[in-house]
Structure 1
């Protein structure tokens, strides 16, 4: 290593550099400006720096960590006083003990280091042995199991083993399995002493508690060669600590029970959650002298204060009443939690750990939160805050949990009470409804107005439900028509849509029960169910039930409520009962209709019998009289040989017999109308009129009659019988307008809510209105046979067929200006 040319050693002994370089310990020299002038190889290795980096550099610049240390003080003193100084010091950057000698030479100093770390460690061990003669002192290898290398004689007193029995064994073999996690494995990850407490097995198999302080011992290369441990038996202290903890737990339990008892006395029989919460926060405030308690209600995404008590500032009350965001106040609470430890959250150091809310309420040192759940959902939050304490003691935790549990139990009891009251109310409503239905069932035998019965059933249903409206719908072609409504829908737009008819396929609330045959309940009505989203915002819940008559769907009973409701079993039973009674009413009405139809058929049959008797006594007798009269003429003509009279008389007899055959045929057809079973099906009247018109006009010139045929509906009826109706009406129209220069026949239709009405009008001769009542009688003719041929039975047949279809037939006229014949057919 080079010396500066002006250094005194450069001109002294033959080769001082070789002498200094050969020193076994680190050595370097500094000038009066503290700059390096020489560094030997041992010094380079000791400080870990090359001479080329340090020469001419200030020592304090190269090693600033030495400023203010004993090294700086002694070095400066040696240079100032120009005398040798010696001292020992621990150098943290290198984690070594060094013995330092500083030699002043007039122009600077020389510094000699010696590593005395090993000696210091041995001295420390000796000191420790002397200080802790009763403690167990052990040296371990720095391996994973901390193998014993040596032990003090006190091992026999502490563990019951002789030292030679443990040397070479792993310390982990004796440590309790549950405590292995508290004892380090191998070389510590951090420098300096460490302390840990654990259980270790004695030779007799029992366990004692040891408190061990360990430190690493490093060799000359700075590597950890051994671990020194000093262990003390602290079993007695642990037992005392356990006893103290048990006493604290017992006291906490006592205080918690006292708080629970106080809360229970205060709540009494209250069932309102807010009142219960007020008692809970007052109980906590009485228990925590340096804090307060607040109860929050859940309102959407906010917790809003509903009750508070204790030492709480107006500013905090204002914040709590304005509300804290759920995620800000309770991010650590899940949606579910069972048991005290999962249901409650204790936060130490609230100002720092409480997030945004902690910053806003930084005057609290510790806080606790307890969610009050209903059906698994957090509906409330009980909180408490301590201002002085930064941590929750066992006693304060126990009190908070007790009051929180008490509030939860009280709310559950209140919920059950409310549930029982609701059930009692529902049972009474069900009883009242069943009594109403029983009365309705009795009236079924006397009431013939089906709509009135439906409305009574709707009244009974609505009497046991919150505000709402009830409907009874039946399909009418491609729409739903409301046949009975009780209550107002509270929306003019919605009522207009209902009155106009709801689309058959698109109205989900009606088509689903119609198709499935099962009731359809919506606790929360989906606005798009019926494609009426812009008009049903006030509808909360709906129920729709199919009405099945004689095995076929007839209509749908619907109930809409203006608030949400979970349809209970009682609700479903009452609505089902209403549907059953409505079914019975409709079935009875159907039976009554069938009886009415049979009565009408009997009346028609009796009328037919009377007409038949009249025809037998009058109309059929006339041809017979003609035959009898002209048979006498035939005899006289034969006797006289008058062939001309004979031929004329035989012609009259032939006409009379033909007339009688025609009358008999018409009577048979009329009788068949009454006996013919109706085969109802869809009949397209437009097509049927077209076919009948061609038959009626057969043999006549095209254009002889002007036909004005409008749109005609598709109806339900017997196609054979309806053909007879149209044939008779169109034949009459053609016949009685045949005397006009320009015969004109109109066939039109219009529809009412109950029926399709078909009109056949002509511009013919009409009839005398004074004989209106004879128009549809059998063999009733209002024109002579010389004027218009016919039997007078056609309109009677028309009347009989339309009556069998449940419709009506009527006529009007202006004599010599034409006649109009109309008939109706029910729409369903």
Structure 2
């Protein structure tokens, strides 16, 4: 029955134009119609026991098997599969699988119909490839390509756009309003662009917007409509291109043009542009100032360099124009033009050709040479003046050289001579060596005449008699330089006019006063026999010799004064040494002579005490106690006088002394005297000094013991010891917080037996600080005191550094 049915159906299926086959439940082919066999061209369809999967390309067999197994539950399926054809070629078919009719309870067969879709599939594949390639091109584009809905919400963006917009994840901006990226005035432009695109028109604009990361950029934007298959606008396309670099370049170019324009406007050089016919189209202010043109002249095209050019320079301009056309610019050349007011103005010109698009346009650079020409004239005049000054300065230097040479010769001649006449002879010898026709004379005053004391060997005998007898002080040759206190030179000497006999052989003369303490000490006179005038060089030489003689006379006078002072000082020193020796002898004598009586007083006072014993009434006992205390104080004063005298006599052993160690030693030795007191010591580091260790120890003992004594009334005594460095040594200070003193009587502190406090308040001899001053003075230093009542005292002294 089944075979019959297949046979009957086969006739019907063979008649169908499309491929068809019947399989059993396992997928074995029971029947295949003529159309499928024709498509297979007798290939696999002729093999017995053929499974339908054998007809498929291996890539699709697994997919078929999966759908075949699912068909048992679903009752069928539809899909596209590659089916083998003749010559091993595969073709795409749309297969529809459904159950074939069968009796109830029988396992049914399956009906498989096929439709050739190979061309459609291949077209779809090509389309997908083209779409993929197009998407790749879109993604690779550096422009930001955005798909918007009609409400301007972001639907998609290409990869290149995400990079330029700094979008890391598109979902962060998906469905955002595109207009929200634009702020400020450009928002109005955005809305207009969207309206234009919705109306079917493409709109392009430029504006600034920030990226997703906030980077502000310039964009060139084009918004266009997108149509569906029915020709309706259903999407918008916005393409943005980053033009920030172009905008920056435009801004830089504009700024450069502005700077260039400012430079041109401020340039002192005339800069103009002219048309092919020579009419000036642009000109800077320097041009207007040079030519007298006005802005109205430029607008009316009345300005032209041809009108300003003098006829004799036309050929120069023509040659420069040809050179500019040929080489781009001319070489600089000079000519004259008619300036403002018709004045001829010298100028330097460079002519340049315009850009390639304007070959007949020229740029003229014209420099006004009037300042330069004036500067050249001034420089020429200055050079002339400078040459004159150089010549004058050279002459002065020659005169100075001659003078210095004369001074050096005189210095060599006199050496260290101190005899006045010998010095005068030295000066005259230099004059005679320099002037072969000169006579020199040295004069000193005697009474009311000036008498010659020294003269050169060429002096005539009759002239010598006149000048040695003396020339009256009122003679012009002496009176005039004496009044002026300056050299007096006489050209064209006239013996009768000057009133000096036997001097007719001289034609020029000079008389130079020699001053000591602004008083004329003598005169140096020179007469020239063969020359009637004094040259500047000869004047300078004579003055230099006179100056040298004057200095030598001053040196002689100073040496004489110093010798007198030295002798007086020696005499005073001898007298002082004698006085000091007598004073020291007196001090020793007084000290020794006084010690015996004081010792007797003390001894007899003790004997009286002992002899009277208990019979001694209180009043007498008090008298004896006062006598005993006075004797003890007298002994103390005698000891202090001996120490003071000894300080002056003991030789100093100068060495490096460590003041730090010295003060530490003093503190240790004085410690037992103030064990029961509260003393605050502030001792700064002290330097090494140059001095005598023993006497400096006495200084520090006196100062520190005084500080302790006069601060004992304080609850806490504070003693400060420090040093300060000075240019030539050290200053050492000792300060206390004791009772202080009245600064009006500070100079008495360092006097012998001078005290500012009563003996009942503070014990002492009044010799300690006197001893300090004597020791410091022997070290070449100074000592001083500062203080105020109730505010303590500071004693300072200076010492030199370690040698």
Q: Given the two structures, how large is their TM-score scaled by the length of structure 1?
A: 0.27
* TM-score, normalization by structure 2: 0.28
